[in-house]
Structure 1
Amino acid sequence: MPKPKTRKKAVYTPPQTTKQLTVSPPWLAPVMVISWIIGILWIAIYYVAPTAPLIGALANWNLLIGFAFIIFGVVLSTRWR
């Protein structure tokens, strides 16, 4: 069996980089959870009491408002580390 040739160049090893861990600001998680809760409660109150003074005046816009709060919470959750 033929003898293998030895490698003449050193194997490339990438330089060691220290990656700093980013930490979420302390306000992020509470605001995220509160916006989810507000969105869910807004939609639930609209379905339970559609003739409430503030809720009844907005009609179907209540769904948009509730989902906007929920989507805001989801957007904040992408920044959570």
Structure 2
Amino acid sequence: MARAKTRSSSEPRDETARGEAAPNPVWFKPVMFGFMLVGLAWIIVFYLSGQQWPIAQLANWNIAIGFGIMFIGFLMTTRWR
């Protein structure tokens, strides 16, 4: 019967092979926080401009757009390592 090969301690181990997730790329955290801040800025500009900016034709849907942009950032936090 053939013996199974065992890994010697001198061989490098692959971290992702043991179920550990790889770290996020460098751009991930700035983009995540960027989405949250842009969404917040969208809502603040909407209120402070007297509902004239960013898009006056959308009226109160501007609030939903701002929260939607922030929600994308919050969803990204679930993948942050």
TM-score, normalised via structure 2 length? 0.69
Q: Residues 36-73 of structure 1, C-alpha deviation per residue, up to 9 Å, x if partnerless? A: 01000000001001123x42121011011100111000
Alpha-carbon distance in 1 for matches of 2:21, 2:36: 27
Alpha-carbon distance in 1 for matches of 2:18, 2:58: 52
Unmatched segments (≥5 aa) in structure 1: 1-16
Alpha-carbon distance in 1 for matches of 2:78, 2:20: 18
Query: Partner residue of 1:58?
Result: 58
- Percent of aligned pairs with the same residue? 36
Query: Partner residue of 2:39?
Result: 39
Number of residue equivalences = 64
The CA RMSD over aligned residues, in Å, is 1.7
Alpha-carbon distance in 2 for matches of 1:47, 1:77: 27
Unmatched segments (≥5 aa) in structure 2: 1-16
Which segments of structure 1 move beyond 6 Å, counting only runs of 4 or more?
A: none
TM-score, normalised via structure 1 length? 0.69
